[in-house]
Amino acid sequence: MSNFEKPVAVKGMNDLLPQDSALWEWLEGQVRSLMARYAYRNIRTPIVEKTPLFIRGLGEVTDIVEKEMYSFEDRLNGEQLTLRPEATAGVVRAVIEHSMLYDGGKRLYYMGPMFRHERPQRGRYRQFHQIGAEALGFPGPELDAELILMANNLWKELGLNNIRLEINSLGQPAERSAHRAALINYFEKNTEVLDEEAKRRLHANPLRILDTKNPAMQALVEAAPRLMDFLGVESLAHFEAIQSILSESGVAWTINPRLVRGMDYYNLTVFEFVTDELGSQGTICGGGRYDYLIEQIGGKSAPAVGWALGVERVLELVKSQASVSGVDSVPDAYAVIPDACALPLAMALLGQLRASGVSVQMHAASRGTDGMGSMKSQLKKADASRATYALIFGADELTRGMVTLKSLRAETGFQTEYRIDAAADLVSALKKHP
């Protein structure tokens, strides 16, 4: 025994064991298929970016930048780095760095871990995973709608229901600043109701006060001046165009005037998909338009819109709502090898089978077993593997150049011999599942 304590993972960061991982892989497969059908292409950016990218991108007065980032100094060159808390800033950085918009807009998607120093609880972790889609270089409301419809179709394809769509428009910067002035004026007249956080945000980011979860401030926030009343014709037209597309596609939504979202970079459309079935962490996907972010980060001005979904939350919903079967892979065959002498021959044949698309789990001796283990114990393992067949490399058959294929699932439990040098016959037998 070692003198060290049993190692544990970092708080709020979870291992994904094979039985759970199977569902993740299934989800990722569903997403890849969906993205391909909408012609969104995969992008993978580094998990670490320079800290100023997030400060500039997300905004200084945001939960993420104020308190949730894992930032550190590169010990070798003193550079400030941050584990990405979200992926849009990194995607935009990559799009600028590689001049990806030179020949028109791009539709992209990503999947991967994000890091935020939050209080871990159900649906909220310090390493969590997002899948996101971004359409960059397109100004029209049809892209906002396409992204919303795409997410909505994902819920359908995953077998999910009871997810509602909330949308809002944050307008353009000029409209927002007129509203902002009205908002500051309103809150200043009511400072006695504001909590400390709200007071601090009053001049820096009054819009975020609307996002408060403090019950004592609800009435005040409810009656605050509405941004919608400050929107001009173009912003309203953009918002209405999205709604007519949604309605023609049979998608229901509600307008939530208090939907502002955590990042500063949004303008015009913002939206969230919410469920009541996950406790207080009910937002499974959020997004919106961010026409000024690319320029803000140092690129040539270009419009963009996107969303990100929380994988853990979506999968929790899948587990409670959908009946997903066949995601955990089981091998076609389990290779029973009673005598270690047969290993070279057996492994050569297994290699041929696998090259032809058959999945085979090879028996391997466990510590403490005498040799390879008895035929009986190996067949027990074969059964436990849930394989359809056992492929038995018994000494008798081998001397005759044969292997035995035994069904582990069929009622009749048939058993047939195949020639080792005719792997093709074996392959077609193995691909037939009784």
From edge to edge, which strands make up the β-sheet containing 164-169?
A: 41-42, 106-115, 127-136, 304-310, 283-289, 267-274, 164-169, 254-255
Neighbour tally for 370: CB within 10 Å: 7
The single residue among 107, 313, 363, 406 that binds ligand ATP, judged by CB under 6 A, is 313
Q: Which residue has the tokens 């955590």?
A: 262
Stretch that binds ligand ATP, among 22-30, 73-81, 308-316, 367-375 (CB under 6 A): 308-316
- By beta-carbon proximity to ligand ATP, the closer residue of 128 and 292 is 128
Rounded to the nearest 10°, the torsion over CA 341, 346, 347, 352 is: 160
What minimum distance in Å lies between the beta carbon of 280 and ligand ATP? 8
* Cα distance between residue 94 and residue 110, in whole Å: 12
> To the nearest whole angstrom, how small is the minimum distance from the Cβ of residue 371 to ligand ATP?
48
> Does the protein bind ligand ATP through residue 385 (CB under 6 A)?
no
Residue 361 DSSP SS3: strand
- Under 8 Å between Cβ of 202 and 102: no
How far is C-alpha 319 from the chain's CA centre?
Answer: 15
When the beta carbons of 128 and 239 are compared against ligand ATP, the nearer one is: 128
Contacts with ligand ATP, 196-235, as mask; x by CB under 6 A: ----------------------------------------
Q: Is 42 helix (H, G, I), strand (E, B) or coil?
A: strand
Q: Given the rule CB under 6 A, which of 90-98, 105-113, 116-124, 245-253 is the region that contacts ligand ATP?
A: 116-124
CA 282 to chain centre: 15
Closest approach of Cβ 224 to ligand ATP, in Å? 20
Closest distance to ligand ATP from the beta carbon of 180 (Å): 20
Which of these, 192, 430, 209, lies nearest to 332 by C-alpha position? Answer: 430
Out of 262, 296, 331, 352, which residue is the one contacting ligand ATP (CB under 6 A)?
262
Least distance (Å) between residue 120 CB and ligand ATP: 8
Q: Which residue, 288 or 338, is less far from ligand ATP as judged by CB?
A: 288
Q: Judged by CB under 6 A, which stretch of 52-60, 194-202, 309-317, 382-390 contacts ligand ATP?
A: 309-317
Q: Is 57 in the site for ligand ATP (CB under 6 A)?
A: no
The residue range among 133-141, 201-209, 247-255, 302-310 that interacts with ligand ATP, by the rule CB under 6 A, is 302-310
* Contact string 121-140 vs ligand ATP (x = CB under 6 A): --xxx--x-x----------
Of 147, 151, 139, the C-alpha closest to 268 is 139
Cβ(318)–Cβ(155) below 8 Å? no
Take residue 418 and report the two structure tokens written for it.
């195949």
Options 281, 296, 352, 385; binder of ligand ATP; rule CB under 6 A = 281
Single out the segment in contact with ligand ATP by CB under 6 A; choices: 36-44, 284-292, 373-381, 387-395: 284-292
137 contacts 206 by C-beta, under 8 angstroms: no
Q: What is the DSSP string of 8-40?
A: -PPTT-----HHHHHHHHHHHHHHHHHHHHTT-
Q: Which two tokens stand for residue 76?
A: 């070798």
Footprint on residues 404-433 left by ligand ATP (CB under 6 A): none
Site membership for ligand ATP, residue 88 (CB under 6 A) = no
Determine whether 348 is exposed, middle or buried from the number of CB atoms within 10 Å of its CB (0-12, 13-18, 19+).
exposed
Binding site for ligand ATP (CB under 6 A): 86, 116, 118, 123-125, 128, 130, 261-262, 281, 283-286, 308-310, 312-313
